[in-house]
Amino acid sequence: MSKGREPVFQMTKREAIEPWKAWLIRLIAVALSLIVCAGVIIALTGLNPVEVYKGIFDGAVGTKRRAWMTIRDTLVLLCIAVGITPAFKMRFWNIGAEGQILIGGVTSAAMMIYLGNTLPPVILFPLMLAGSALAAMVWAIIPAFFKAYWNTNETLFTLMMNYVAMQVVTFGIIFWENPKGSNSVGTINSATKGGWLPKLFGLEYGWNLVIVLALTVAMFIYLRYSKQGYEIAVVGESGNTARYAGINVKKVILRTMAISGAVCGIAGFIIVSGASHTISTSTAGGRGFTAIIVSWMSKFNTFAMILVSFFLVFMQKGAGQIASQFNLNENAADVITGIILFFILGCEFFIDYKVRIRSAKQAGSEE
């Protein structure tokens, strides 16, 4: 009878961990990730990693304009993350934010084109905001309805709705093509700036800031302190418990997705009216998916999402910079972001578990 060796690593779940220890582990993870990234950079490009890091920093916040671009994109990503959070908290796998943003965006674009130069701003902007929210809300309720009444798979359903939304946008582009033959809408009302969100407190993206931060705070309160937020949490944890408690699960699914869709629609409005002033199939640009990472990494805490979305946009902006500065492929920054995310997500394991390596004494006694 041959004797096997005992396992080298033994993992045990921690009972609890002090917050400072958890943060220390996260800090070590970030530091380690930067060291590994440096190694990768040297190995692949032979560049000085410190220079590359400087390039990233410079690209993201090096000048005032760049900093504002970073803030602008952070706000959009944050808005989407805040939007999908109630759905994910309900364990409704809404990967249709992409489509909901597009529908909200295309509604805003249509209003800019048809009403932008006629209605006074006091009426126009609330109308655009409400219209975009409403359109995306309807878009989001469709898969929720099928889920609630026939238990269809929401992941596939919302994903497919994204492609339908893209076709709707394509149709709009053909319809509003400007100039003819360009296959794009171009900048809408570039001369009159009709339907462009104006400056607030002298800040170009002031309205974006106010709207998104207001939504962030409101969503935090809604999820944590309202009765409806409580219902969402119960439905998310256990459908059986929800039925037991007399919660109307169908109603909660429909209502929550309506809210989720509406906020994503507002994100579409902010992109079109507050930033790009045009509409294309890439208006959402994959941010509906990135927002899922933001939401989960923040553990559904909308304030944590501010940090996480800033980090992701920061890295993305830095990528553009190092791509041109060092003649690197844009994907180089993706590699760096990937490594950093890997470490940040991976360190959660060490926060939840303690790992013990087989002691020398036991190893010795085996011989």
Q: Which residues bind other proteins (CB under 8 A)?
A: 1, 3-7, 10, 12-15, 225-231, 233-234, 237-238, 240-241, 243-248, 354
Q: Min. distance of Cβ 124 from other proteins in angstroms? A: 30
The total of other beta-carbon atoms located within 10 Å of residue 116's CB is 22
Q: What size, in residues, is the chain?
A: 367
Query: Residue 243: which residues within 8 A CB-CB, separation 6 or more?
Result: 249
Q: Min. distance of Cβ 1 from other proteins in angstroms? A: 6
DSSP 200: B
Instruction: Name the residue nearer to other proteins (CB basis): 189 or 228.
Output: 228
SS3 category, 324:
helix
How far does the chain reach from its first CA to its final CA, in angstroms?
14
Do 207 and 197 form a contact (C-beta atoms < 8 A)? Answer: yes
Q: Min. distance of Cβ 233 from other proteins in angstroms? A: 7
Instruction: Name the residue nearer to other proteins (CB basis): 197 or 262.
Output: 262
Q: Min. distance of Cβ 214 from other proteins in angstroms? A: 17
Instruction: Name the residue nearer to other proteins (CB basis): 235 or 270.
Output: 235
Alpha-carbon span 136 to 142, nearest angstrom: 10
Per DSSP, what are the bridge partners of residue 10? 356
CA angle 171, 142, 252 (to 5 degrees): 145
Q: Min. distance of Cβ 237 from other proteins in angstroms? A: 5
Instruction: Name the residue nearer to other proteins (CB basis): 199 or 224.
Output: 224
Nearest Cα residue to 318 out of 297, 293, 335, 305: 335
Instruction: Name the residue nearer to other proteins (CB basis): 199 or 356.
Output: 356
Instruction: Name the residue nearer to other proteins (CB basis): 237 or 334.
Output: 237
SS3 category, 356:
strand
Which amino acid is located at 172 in the chain? G
Do 322 and 333 form a contact (C-beta atoms < 8 A)? Answer: yes
Do 253 and 87 form a contact (C-beta atoms < 8 A)? Answer: no
Q: Min. distance of Cβ 91 from other proteins in angstroms? A: 11
Do 282 and 272 form a contact (C-beta atoms < 8 A)? Answer: no
Residue 357: phi, psi to the nearest 5?
-90, 145
Instruction: Name the residue nearer to other proteins (CB basis): 154 or 231.
Output: 231
Q: Min. distance of Cβ 226 from other proteins in angstroms? A: 6
Instruction: Name the residue nearer to other proteins (CB basis): 53 or 222.
Output: 222
Q: Min. distance of Cβ 126 from other proteins in angstroms? A: 23
Which amino acid is located at 9 in the chain? F
Crossing angle for the helix pair 64-89 and 206-225, nearest 10 degrees? 20
Alpha-carbon span 20 to 87, nearest angstrom: 31
Q: Min. distance of Cβ 55 from other proteins in angstroms? A: 43
Which amino acid is located at 339 in the chain? I
Alpha-carbon span 99 to 139, nearest angstrom: 8
H or E element, residue 72: helix 64-89
Instruction: Name the residue nearer to other proteins (CB basis): 118 or 365.
Output: 365
Q: Min. distance of Cβ 296 from other proteins in angstroms? A: 15
Instruction: Name the residue nearer to other proteins (CB basis): 199 or 243.
Output: 243
